[in-house]
Amino acid sequence: MSMADLTLRTAVPDKDYPALAMLLSKIWDEPTTAADIHDWDQIGVGGGDGRFLTRILLENEQKELLGYGTLRHQTYEEEGWFYIWVGVDPDFRCQGWGQLLYEKMAALAVANGASELGSDVLDNCPDCLRFAKKQGFNVDRHLYQATIDLHKFEAHKFTGIIEAVEAAGIRFTSLAAEGDTEAARRKLHALNYQVALDDPASNGSFPAFAAFNNNWKRASWFVPEGQLLAVVGDQYVGLSAVGYMQATNSMVNLMTGVDKAYRGRKIAQALKLKSIEFAQTYGADYILTHNDSQNAPILAINRKLGYRPKTGEYRLKMRI
């Protein structure tokens, strides 16, 4: 197959996302659905002018999807910073298609004012990392993934932890129980902002409320009951955000964090236990979580609760 037999074109969401989801499911270690990609499209929507997102497909003459590239910039991200990613069907690799896609996406990045690129590769794919380094990327962070089997969780080992935290004046609730009002969402957004910037993996950017709330409204994974809160008086001091992934009947623990003034009181551990309780009640099979390799406190909690490591990812960056 020659370059002349290939077509690069912009993805059409309703038409192309089912096939794109199948491709990504072959590349990644967790299944991807068309709904997931539609969810990603909504990230940052409503955050003002300056947002950029494109998805490019690589097809052969038979209209088979061989590869895919994406380029994205959110309004809340540093000026000149773009996320870039390309992937090729494992059955069609080592033919130059990844390089073709990357050069297309990189040219788009430069044309749109990029001065720094970010990307990621799975940490169990040395060929992927070599490809990225060939383009000029360096490893910036290492993120671990871990899962906990909800059917095998030994709750009796943690009896009394939640009760002890409650006895110290902490009330556990959820966004749903708080009425899921705009005021409650704004308070939760503010806490998300604080704890996200404390995460070692943070690049210092975070969406404003309008964009963050729009994502909550539209995301297929969003469950108000899964936005778990630790509260003192009317102040939100801790959160554990859990979303439901229908394709795998699983939950994703997107964020767990505690206000700096309330750390060291086992609130995060209690919130993690609350997230497990919620996921079990919902009927999920497991919880997946992602954490930076330098986030020692949360990694220690995960190990204690019984989370088991799986494939992680390297976060990459390069200056243009």
**Domain layout of the chain by residue ranges:** 3-114, 146-314
Q: How confident is the model over 241-250, as a mean pLDDT? A: 96
Q: How confident is the model over 83-97, as a mean pLDDT? A: 94
The pLDDT of residue 49 is above 90 = no
DSSP 173: E
Query: Mean of the per-residue pLDDT values for the chain?
Result: 94
Pairing of strands 227-232, 250-258: unpaired
Q: How confident is the model over 301-316, as a mean pLDDT? A: 97
Do 257 and 191 meet the contact criterion of CB atoms below 8 Å apart? yes
Residue type, 283: G
What pLDDT, on a 0 to 100 scale, did the predictor assign at position 224?
97
What pLDDT, on a 0 to 100 scale, did the predictor assign at position 51?
85
Distance CA 295, CA 293 (A): 6
Distance CA 165, CA 230 (A): 10
Do 228 and 274 meet the contact criterion of CB atoms below 8 Å apart? yes
What pLDDT, on a 0 to 100 scale, did the predictor assign at position 43?
80
What pLDDT, on a 0 to 100 scale, did the predictor assign at position 19?
97
What pLDDT, on a 0 to 100 scale, did the predictor assign at position 42?
83
The pLDDT of residue 46 is above 90 = no
pLDDT confidence bin for 270, thresholds 50/70/90 = very high
Distance CA 190, CA 184 (A): 10
**According to CATH, what is the number of the domain 146-314?**
3.40.630.30
Pairing of strands 250-258, 286-292: parallel
Flag the least confident range among 212-221, 231-240, 301-310.
Answer: 212-221
What pLDDT, on a 0 to 100 scale, did the predictor assign at position 48?
59
| Higher pLDDT pick, 281 / 61 | 281
Superfamily for 3-114? Gcn5-related N-acetyltransferase (GNAT) (3.40.630.30)
- Of 143, 154, 148, 145, the residue nearest 307 (C-alpha): 148
The pLDDT of residue 3 is above 90 = no
Q: pLDDT digit string (tens) for 128-169?
A: 999 999 999 999 999 999 999 999 999 999 999 999 999 999
